[in-house]
């Protein structure tokens, strides 16, 4: 056994001499800063059972000589930059059970000879594979994991996939698959995750999936599925995420939903669902999000819906709901978003809505609501508040009018005090200005020396004439900064340094510019990190720059580091995180003080921080989106099966109602 994993070696190639270790059975070189191509000499390791070269910077093709590793059981090549097709001759690897070549740039078709092996786990996601998935993969008797998402695969899935194997995790999302969903996916009754979003699947959801009680996570959104959802599917007892968004599904929500005791996220927007929302939905006590917008739901909201105390989002806009809003909605103490726009709701807005203290998105527009707007709404902090196109009457709530009367006396005192401070400040400034003018006239310009490192269009005298207090625009630890308008019309900033530590072997003439000051250097390192980022694009602070700052705070929490650290060198925290992730992996970024049992949740929070600090402001999510993502981190319940260390799947729940960013 040779294990050199997770060592910060200097970048280098895999020594071809390793092929001489012919008795080697285990070779682990995970995250060793390796680069270059995989040497052909590794094919001489005939006794090798486990080869792990993951999380490096390896490039080039996978050498055909690896097909000579007739004893190998596991090959890990994920998270590199490998290119080309999978090598021929893989049928020789008769003992191979686990292959992971994900997160590379591999292309071509998935070989049939590979799929004919008795594989247990096949991970080829995030590559450029095309063509169809060979039918032979369905004959693997022990296949429990198949992850092929984010490729360019086409055609239909094998219709007997899962019939002969204990399939647990299937993820074929973001491909171009078509045809129907194989009805045998849960034949062995062990399937936990079915992720098939962003494809062209059509037909009905198989009735057999309505009996798959082992399911915990189902994402079938963004396809062309039609017909009614199987009755049993609504009530699967262990599913916590059910996403069917943007299909052509029809029919009602079945009353069997009462059995979905673990359901937290029900995302069924943009379909053709009809009928009334059943009273039984009030029994789904774990429900945190119910998004059913852009359907044909009708009738009143069930009274039982107010029992959903964990509800954070209720979005049913663009339906045909009618009747009055249910009483008791004040029990939605965790509700963040309430969108019932464009329905046919009538009656009054319940007074209890003013008690929803965390609500920040409220849209009742396009309904038939009448009566007065509840006074309690004035106490809420809403980012979105829309009651347009209704039949409301009476006066608007007084908002801050009543409160302001109690503070009139305080405001008057503040204005008087501010006036006094202003007058005193003007007098003080005038006196200081006169003294400075006198002192400034005494400067002998002949003592100044201008040292230029490139050709300039102005002289030191033009600068010196403008170094007076009228032109001061800032003061730092190392001196004052002056705004200087040159005769050419160009505007420059000039910093006049305080007397500091003078370099050795030089005279003590500060005016010659030889002052060395660590505070000035620190100041420069700090503009570069924040001022430049915040103002470079728009020259003003906006929501996106605030989100950037929030993202930096998230990265501080996850990494346990300050925004500026000597270890970063020329980088700031954001660049350090990105570089370290690429070169060393997530384990070198996360604060080691954080409990490892929460690693997956911490990784998701890290991803959110990286989204917020995207270099282009347009790619950053809205704060509403950030809040949702952070809420989701605590909602998903994970299978007990151990995951491979250092690997992140991007397919945790992605909010389909906000297209501002991609998770």
What three-state secondary structure class fits 204?
Answer: coil
Question: Helix crossing, 543-559 with 623-633: angle to 10°?
Answer: 30
- What is the rounded distance in angstroms from the CA atom of residue 168 to the CA atom of residue 342? 41
With contact defined as beta carbons under 8 Å apart, do 556 and 562 qualify?
yes
First to last CA, the chain: 39
- What is the rounded distance in angstroms from the CA atom of residue 404 to the CA atom of residue 538? 35
Residue 219 makes CB contacts below 8 A (sequence gap 6+) with 173, 194, 195, 196, 197, 241, 243, 651
Residue 145 makes CB contacts below 8 A (sequence gap 6+) with 120, 121, 122, 123, 168, 169
Output helix, strand, coil percentages for the chain, rounded to the nearest 5. Answer: 30, 20, 50
- Tokens 């647990």 sit on residue: 168
Residue 179 makes CB contacts below 8 A (sequence gap 6+) with 155, 156, 157, 201, 202, 203
Residue 504 makes CB contacts below 8 A (sequence gap 6+) with none
DSSP state for residue 124 in the 8-state scheme: -
CB atoms within 10 A of CB 46: 13
Does 496 show up as a binding residue in the annotation? Answer: yes
Q: Which two tokens stand for residue 237?
A: 């007892």
What three-state secondary structure class fits 551?
Answer: helix
Q: Largest Cα–Cα distance of the chain, in whole Å?
A: 95
* CA-based nearest residue to 7, from 33, 36, 38: 33
DSSP state for residue 605 in the 8-state scheme: H
Contacts 24+ apart (CB under 8 A), 323-326: 323/299, 323/347, 324/300, 324/348, 325/301, 325/349, 325/350, 326/300, 326/301, 326/302, 326/350
CB atoms within 10 A of CB 127: 23
- The two beta strands, 200-203 and 296-299, are unpaired
By CB atoms closer than 10 A (0-12, 13-18, 19+), residue 532 is: exposed
Please count the residues of the chain: 663
DSSP string, 240-268: SEEE--SSEEEEPPPGGGGG-TT--EEE-
Known binding residues for ATP are 496
Annotated binding site: 496
């Amino acid at each position: 056994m040779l294990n050199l994993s997770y060592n910060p070696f200097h970048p280098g190639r895999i020594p071809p001499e390793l092929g001489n270790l012919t008795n080697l059975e285990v070779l682990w070189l995970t995250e060793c800063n390796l680069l270059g191509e995989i040497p052909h000499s590794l094919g001489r390791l005939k006794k090798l059972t486990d080869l792990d070269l993951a999380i490096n910077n390896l490039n080039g093709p996978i050498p055909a000589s690896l097909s000579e590793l007739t004893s190998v059981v596991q090959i890990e090549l994920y998270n590199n930059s490998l290119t080309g097709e999978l090598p021929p001759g893989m049928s020789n690897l008769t003992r191979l059970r686990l292959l992971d070549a994900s997160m590379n740039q591999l292309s071509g078709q998935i070989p049939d000879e590979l799929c004919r092996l008795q594989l247990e786990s096949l991970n080829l996601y995030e590559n450029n594979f095309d063509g169809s998935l060979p039918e032979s993969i369905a004959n693997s008797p022990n296949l429990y994991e198949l992850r092929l998402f984010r490729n360019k695969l086409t055609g239909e899935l094998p219709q007997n996939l899962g019939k002969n194997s204990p399939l647990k995790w299937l993820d074929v999302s973001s491909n171009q698959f078509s045809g129907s969903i194989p009805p045998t996916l849960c034949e062995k009754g062990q399937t936990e995750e079915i992720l098939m979003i962003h494809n062209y699947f059509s037909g009905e959801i198989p009735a057999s999936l309505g009996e798959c009680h082992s399911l915990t996570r189902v994402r079938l959104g963004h396809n062309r599925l039609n017909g009614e959802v199987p009755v049993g599917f609504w009530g699967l007892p262990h599913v916590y995420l059910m996403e069917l968004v943007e299909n052509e599904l029809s029919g009602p929500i079945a009353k069997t939903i009462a059995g979905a005791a673990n359901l937290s996220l029900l995302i069924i927007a943009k379909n053709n669902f009809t009928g009334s929302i059943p009273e039984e939905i009030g029994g789904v006590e774990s429900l945190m999000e119910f998004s059913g917008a852009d359907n044909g739901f009708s009738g009143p909201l069930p009274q039982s819906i107010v029992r959903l105390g964990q509800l954070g989002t209720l979005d049913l806009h663009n339906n045909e709901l009618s009747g009055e809003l249910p009483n008791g909605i004040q029990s939605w103490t965790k509700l963040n978003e309430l969108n019932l726009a464009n329905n046919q709701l009538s009656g009054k807005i319940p007074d209890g809505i003013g008690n929803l203290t965390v609500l920040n998105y409220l849209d009742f527009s396009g309904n038939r609501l009448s009566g007065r707007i509840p006074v309690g709404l004035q106490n809420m902090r809403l980012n979105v508040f829309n009651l347009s196109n209704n039949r409301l009457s009476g006066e608007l709530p007084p908002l801050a009018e009543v409160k302001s009367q109690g503070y009139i006396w305080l405001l008057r005192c503040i204005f008087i005090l501010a006036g006094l401070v202003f007058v005193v400040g003007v007098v003080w400034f005038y006196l200081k200005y006169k003294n400075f003018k006198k002192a400034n006239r005494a400067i002998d310009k002949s003592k100044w020396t201008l040292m230029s490192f490139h050709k300039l269009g102005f002289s030191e005298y033009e600068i010196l004439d403008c170094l007076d207090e009228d032109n001061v625009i800032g003061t730092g630890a190392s001196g004052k900064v002056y705004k200087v308008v040159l005769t050419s019309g160009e505007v420059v900033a000039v910093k006049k340094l305080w007397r500091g530590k003078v370099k050795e072997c030089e005279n003590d003439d500060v005016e010659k510019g030889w002052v060395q000051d660590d505070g000035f250097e620190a100041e420069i390192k700090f503009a570069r990190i924040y001022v430049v980022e915040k103002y470079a694009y728009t020259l003003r602070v906006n929501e996106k720059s605030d989100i950037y700052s929030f993202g930096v705070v998230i990265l501080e929490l996850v990494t346990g580091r300050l925004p500026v650290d000597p270890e970063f060198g020329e980088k700031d925290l954001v660049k350090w995180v990105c570089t370290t992730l690429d070169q060393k992996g997530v384990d070198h970024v996360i604060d080691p003080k954080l409990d490892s049992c929460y690693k997956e949740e911490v990784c998701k929070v890290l991803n959110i921080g990286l989204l917020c600090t995207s270099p282009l402001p347009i790619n950053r999510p809205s704060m509403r989106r950030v809040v949702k993502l952070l809420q989701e981190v605590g909602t998903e319940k994970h299978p007990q099966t151990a995951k491979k260390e250092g690997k992140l799947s991007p397919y945790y729940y992605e909010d389909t109602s906000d297209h501002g960013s991609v998770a």
